[in-house]
Structure 1
Amino acid sequence: MFKAGLIFAGCLLSAQLIWAQGRQSANSNPLAGTIDFHCHAGPDVSGRSLSDLDLARLAKKDGMRGIVLKNHYTMTADRAETAMKEVGGIEVFGGIALNRSVGGLNAEAIRRMAAMEGHRGKVVWLPTVDAENNFEHGPGARKFVSVVKDGKPVPEMAEVFQAIAKNDRILETGHSTPAESLILIQAARYAGIGKIIVTHAQLLGATVQQMKQMADMGAYIEFCWQSYLAKTGNKNDGDKKAVAECVKVIQAIGADRCIIDSDLGQPGNPLHPDGMRAFISSLKANGMSEHDIDLIARKNPAKLLGLPTE
């Protein structure tokens, strides 16, 4: 047990050293010190381009500081702990999405995730694939998990909020509609939750005014490269018009309340680090400053995850 503790302590020290070195070399390597907050990897129900371990190794090789593993159907805190121990030299975190496969709005699942060995489970996503919002579903009857009813959070959300606040986890709004997210952010803040991210808000139809309001309420707004991929021969290209609009939106909200990540892992799409690299390059090409990129790709994600930012 003592030996295992020394090994894990070594992994943490190695991760901190790599981060410090990455901060010094950000100009030569745009990925140095970055954190990808939205990574899909295998094993999964759907096919994925990389396994957790292969992704951690690749992200480390490319100088990234950390990754957050997301799965729509199962907890990833245990997988993040395994990757931390196996790969070392990179921060790996996980979480849980409150879809039907984990019992929906199941506060006990959050508590168990937070208590998992290594305490790498940091994020609680509200329903995604099972959200009531028909964001990625065709017409027709289906089972879903409601989070808002009659203009207020459903009763089950009270215990969910309590579990997140007590364990100092990060609340993500999942695939909730912008109107639902505004209601949830207000209620979450009232319940004592200090870290909130609006999951790919623009993709879910939030207006600039709504995103500014969410940020003013204390939430961070997430922008994912997968949302901006152009349907061209070069699979790493971003839709130029959409990326230019993304820059304008981030500037309108304020970079101090935004994060960027990949939302990649789908077969046929770029690998996660390639997506992050392309995203940063496209933002720069559209006039975003190094200071703002440092905030949205490095400092803000680190702050949310409880990592040093200086």
Structure 2
Amino acid sequence: MEWLFDFMQRYPRVRELEADCADGLFDGLVDTHVHGNPDSLGKRSQDIVDIALDYARRRSRAIVHKDHHYSTVGVAQVAQRHVDHLLEQGRIEHRVEVYGGLPLAYTTDPGFVATAAASPFMRMIFMNAIHGEVLVDGGKVLPAVQDIIRIAADHRIPITVCPPNHSAKYGGADDYPIVATLVECIGRLGAKALLDQPVSAYTVDQIVHLASCGALVGIFCYPTIPDVIKAPVTDPDLTKAVIDAVGVERCVLGSDKGYLLEPDAVHAMRLLLRLLLVWGYSEGQIRTMAAENGARLLFG
């Protein structure tokens, strides 16, 4: 109870807002980090079609389906076809765009990435996925990985950079030097970077530096919002400190939830939008993070 009373004292807006306060903020929203079935890590509570339809009903713009081990590009194409079919039948009123991506798990073969990049449903490369390949050695980005970054730049495909602690192949190496080397290389080669779960791995000052190198900062429901299956990673106030330090112009939203003991993607996102309102961000600032920056990341 001490946490509850302290939170309400620091953020009195939590007593003032209505239950529907975040509903309008879904309009045009881009969820850059969606987990749903099929998923290689374990059963999720929804498949990607269900998640897409939840967002379509809230008039969101796009979602990106992530898996740590295999491509979600084909799944995205099938899900999009189903969404479009329902739209044509008049069973939904709004089209949400569904995209997939490719994790660098098992291989860093540039040809593998180049083949996927030819698909219009390919909108993300995931670096340092769980069990992902080593991308930086001796303080340098490996040549094959540099080629992948060039492919991403040529096709304007963003790169999500996960903390290296996701992969045991780094042998417990410090997260920040590896990610800083990657982000600096991504910026130098003209590609777009998105930091995955930065508040779980780096200090605020480190995140500010990564953003200064051109990276957008992922403000995700996990780890900002604790749940049962994943232990609390950070004080949610750290997320607010990061937003204030880098500015809303550098922040992008994502759900990153969906296990059976977690909220569904849309419900988690609604909690995050409410939290941003409680913290005192204006609707305009939240739309910048929820819609404008996500669109710039995916389509800019």
Which category of TM-score, normalised to the shorter sequence, fits these structures?
0.7 to 0.9
Paired residues, number: 258
Equivalent-residue separation in structure 1 for 2:32 and 2:45 (angstroms)? 17
8 Å contact from structure 2 (residues 69, 103) kept in 1: yes
Q: Cα 1:28–1:42, aligned 2, differ >3 Å: closer, same or farther?
A: closer
Unaligned residue ranges in structure 1 (runs of 5+): 1-24, 132-144
1:251 aligns with 2:251: no
Distance between the aligned counterparts of 1:156 and 1:297, measured in 2?
A: 33
Q: Which residue does the alignment assign to 1:76? A: 72
1:261, CA displacement in angstroms? 1.1
Relative to 1, partners in 2 of residues 1:174 and 1:252: Cα closer, same or farther, differing over 3 Å?
same
Check whether the contact 2:225–2:236 (CA below 8 A) recurs between aligned residues: no
Distance 1:228 1:190, change over 3 A: closer
Trace 1:129-208 onto structure 2 (pairs within 5 A). 129-131=130-132, 145-176=133-164, 177-193=175-191, 195-203=192-200, 205-208=201-204
Alpha-carbon shift at residue 57 of structure 1 (Å): 1.2
Identity within the alignment, %: 24
Runs of 4+ in 1 over 6 A off after TM superposition: none
The alpha-carbon deviation at position 228 of structure 1 amounts to 2.4
Provide closer, same or farther for how the CA distance between residues 78 and 290 of structure 1 changes in structure 2, counting only shifts above 3 A. same
Q: Is the 8 A contact 2:34 2:64 kept in 1?
A: yes
Deviation at 1:26, TM superposition (A): 9.2
Q: Which has the higher contact order (CA 8 A, sep 6+)?
A: 2
> Within 5 A, what are the aligned runs for 1:95-114?
95-100=101-106, 104-114=107-117
Q: Is the 8 A contact 1:70 1:76 kept in 2?
A: yes
Equivalences for residues 1-310 of structure 1 within 5 A: 29-45=24-40, 46-88=42-84, 89-100=95-106, 104-116=107-119, 119-131=120-132, 145-176=133-164, 177-193=175-191, 195-203=192-200, 205-231=201-227, 242-306=235-299
Change (3 A) 1:179 1:300: same
* TM-score, normalised by the number of residues in structure 2: 0.80
Please, which moves more after superposition, 53-62 or 223-232? 223-232
**Cα RMSD after superposing both structures:** 2.2
What one-letter code is carried by the residue in structure 2 that aligns with 1:257? R
Amino acid at match of 2:51: L
C-alpha distance in 2 between matches for 1:255 and 1:159: 31
Task: Provide Cα deviations, 1:123-181, integer angstroms capped at 9, x if missing partner.
Answer: 001131114xxxxxxxxxxxxx2111111112321221222122221112123322211
Deviations 1:181-200 (A, max 9, x none): 1111111222222x111111
Task: Confirm or deny: 8 A CA contact 1:107 1:159 kept in the other structure.
Answer: yes
Which amino acid counterpart does residue 90 of structure 1 have in structure 2? V
Between the aligned partners of 1:77 and 1:285, the Cα distance in structure 2 is 36
Secondary structure at the aligned position of 1:37 is classed as strand
Distance in 2 between the 1:79 and 1:253 partners? 34
- SS of 1:111's equivalent? helix
CA–CA distance in structure 2, aligned partners of residues 231 and 44 of structure 1: 19
Question: Deviation of residue 273 (structure 1)?
Answer: 0.5
CA distance in 2, matches of 1:160, 1:230: 34
